[in-house]
Amino acid sequence: MSYMRTAILLAALTALFMGIGFLLGGQTGMIIALVMAGGMNLFAYWNSDKAVLRMYGAHLVDPNSGRDARDLYDMVAGLARNANLPMPKVYVMDNPQPNAFATGRNPENAAVAVTTGLMQTVTREELAGVIAHELAHIRHHDTLLMTITATIAGAISMLANFAMFFGGNRDNNHMGFIGTLALMILGPMAAGLVQMAISRTREYEADKGGAEICGHPLWLASALQKIAGGAARIPNEEAEENPASAHLFIVNPLHGLRLDRMFATHPPMEERVARLKAMSQTMGSGGYDGGSVRPASETGPWSGSVPESPRRARGPWG
């Protein structure tokens, strides 16, 4: 049912894009819009992962650069085996906000990225829950899906801007000035709502899949609560400059969650946690046992660029 709902929403987004092309240029405009979408998606298919990792200044973890790097790498490797996935690349972002995302066009070309803030905020078990959530996105091919939806939504906004210059002629058979104005306002809004609906649907499924991969739903539930609290207090400057990428993260990275629920890119945190707690009642504690991963130290390979912050009770990640 979840995949069917996602397919319907994606079809609606594509139809909206082609419809705007038709309003702007008739059948020719619709065909041009379709070709544009295909070209943008082809570019995004091959380059989206590199672009988003570069956008957030993520650097590849070298497992041979130190014990902390090896521990993080081994944790991802163990969880990937549980998920029957190829080993993804592992990245770290020098960002004080606790958060994480996955990217890549398929499981064979995937990457998992975590912030230094996340590693300083959560326990080893909670970090395993977060990584398992991201691996579930990879297993479900959500990373490609979300790239496509973001690309089409961006193209819709671009076409809506073109409408002011090419669609406002009173002799236009497809739309007049009022229609152009409505298109400029309602087109991007509708695209954003569909994109957000797809994101919310996939987040629920990734929570469920992540809990199954690590075998402990409460690990992820606890991590989500900590990450949400951190995201509300600590700004993510790169995300604020690129809000269209907010849906990639496990928790909305926009400071203060400035968008209301209707426009939120993620499901309500209370509902996500409640579902995971209910799931913990029906499954035994199995799966990933934490392995030999130890806490990241204050002098680890990523801690140097993390700004000083008030200390809470020290957890195993500092």
H or E element, residue 110? strand 110-115
**Is 212 labeled as catalytic in the residue annotation?**
no
Contacts 24+ apart (CB under 8 A), 4-9: 5/201, 6/145, 6/198, 6/201, 6/202, 9/194, 9/197, 9/198, 9/201
HSE-up of residue 297 (Cα within 13 Å, Cβ side): 9
The answer to whether 99 and 208 are in contact (CB under 8 A) is no
Q: How far apart are CA 273 and CA 225, in angstroms?
A: 8
125 annotated as belonging to a binding site for a ligand = no
Phi-psi category of residue 277: left, alpha or beta, with phi > 0 → left and psi -120 to 50 → alpha? alpha
Query: How many whole angstroms from its chain centre is CA 286?
Result: 27
* In contact, 263 and 244? CB cutoff 8 Å: no
Read off the tokens for 71.
């521990």
**Residue 177 amino acid letter:** F
Residues 6 or more apart whose Cβ sits within 8 Å of residue 281: none
Is 247 annotated in a binding site? The answer is no
DSSP per position, 218-256: HHHHHHHHHHHHHHHHS--HHHHH-GGGGGGBSS--SGG
Q: Is 133 annotated as a binding residue?
A: yes
- Choosing from 125, 126, 134, 212, the catalytic residue is 134
Catalytic residue list: 134
Annotated binding site for Zn(2+): 133, 137, 203
